[in-house]
Amino acid sequence: MHPVKINCVLMKGVNDDEIEAFAELTLRYPLHVRFIELMPIGNVGFYRQGHLLPIGEARVRCARLGELMPVAQDETVGGGPAQVFRYPEARGTLGFIGACTENFCQRCNRMRLSADGYLYPCLGHGVRVDLKPALKQPAAARSDAILAAVEHALLCKPQGHQFITVMPHPAFRTMRAIGG
């Protein structure tokens, strides 16, 4: 399987002692490790307990293992909001996604489709578009209906998230239920 991406949601006091070990994996294996800040989605009580680990701290800890060289966006696996680096001679890459402390909304190219048919144009807003009506259209009209629903979701994509400004956050579900 290639490429293999490993997403690590960082949580202070829970898994922050594993940052360097995950980073070292990229030296030996062609893995693409992504460190992701804990976002206040779903159960914000856990977020409020002080488990946020700023993504900059993870980057500093990874830099202790060697020089972090930026990877050009067109060389990254899957593109997206991650700032991607690699160690010299590494087989894999390290990505850093700081939704709360290093806002990446201006370069976000993501939407999420949940298993029950909702398209979320932004995880930092309560906006979602129900794709089920489009999926239930007769076969001849289905593609156009799906395209129209996706275009509508793109138009609903906000300029920025509300993670820090709105508490509790208006997310409908936890990340696990959305597909993250």
Residue 134 and residue 48 share a domain: no
Instruction: Judge whether 55 and 35 are in contact, CB under 8 Å.
Output: yes
Give 81-130 pLDDT, tens digit per residue: 889 999 999 999 999 998 888 877 777 888 888 888 999 888 777 788 99
Contact present, 83 and 93 (Cβ < 8 Å): no
Identify whether residues 9 and 36 lie together within a single domain: yes
pTM of the model: 0.78
Give me Rg for the CA atoms of the chain.
Answer: 18
Whether 119 and 162 map to the same domain: the answer is: yes
Residues 117 and 94 in one domain: no
When pLDDT is cut at 50, 70 and 90, the band that residue 56 belongs to is very high
User: What pLDDT does 167 receive?
Assistant: 53
Backbone angle region of 32, left / alpha / beta, with phi > 0 → left and psi within -120 to 50 → alpha? beta
Task: Verify that 64 and 149 share a domain, yes or no.
Answer: no
Looking at the structure, tell me whether residues 36 and 91 fall in a common domain.
yes
Per-residue pLDDT at 135: 92
Range of the domain at 129: 111-178
In the chain, the amino acid numbered 66 is G
Q: Give just the sign of the alpha carbon dihedral 133, 137, 139, 144.
A: negative
Do 93 and 115 lie in one domain? The reply is no
The Cα–Cα gap between 133 and 128 comes to 14
Q: Are residues 36 and 93 in the same domain?
A: yes
Predicted confidence band of residue 151 (pLDDT cuts 50, 70, 90): very high
Residue position matching structure tokens 């906000």:
158
Give the amino acid at 48. R
Local confidence band at 74 (pLDDT 50, 70, 90 cut-offs): low
Q: How confident is the model at residue 173 (pLDDT cuts 50, 70, 90)?
A: low
Instruction: Report the candidate in 79, 94, 99 with the shortest Cα–Cα distance to residue 33.
Output: 94
Whether residue 29 is predicted with pLDDT greater than 90 in this model: the reply is yes
Quote the number of domains for the chain: 2
**What pLDDT does residue 171 have?**
52
Q: Are 56 and 29 in contact (CB under 8 A)?
A: no
- 14-28 per-position pLDDT tens digit: 999 999 999 999 999
Say whether pLDDT at 172 is over 60.
no
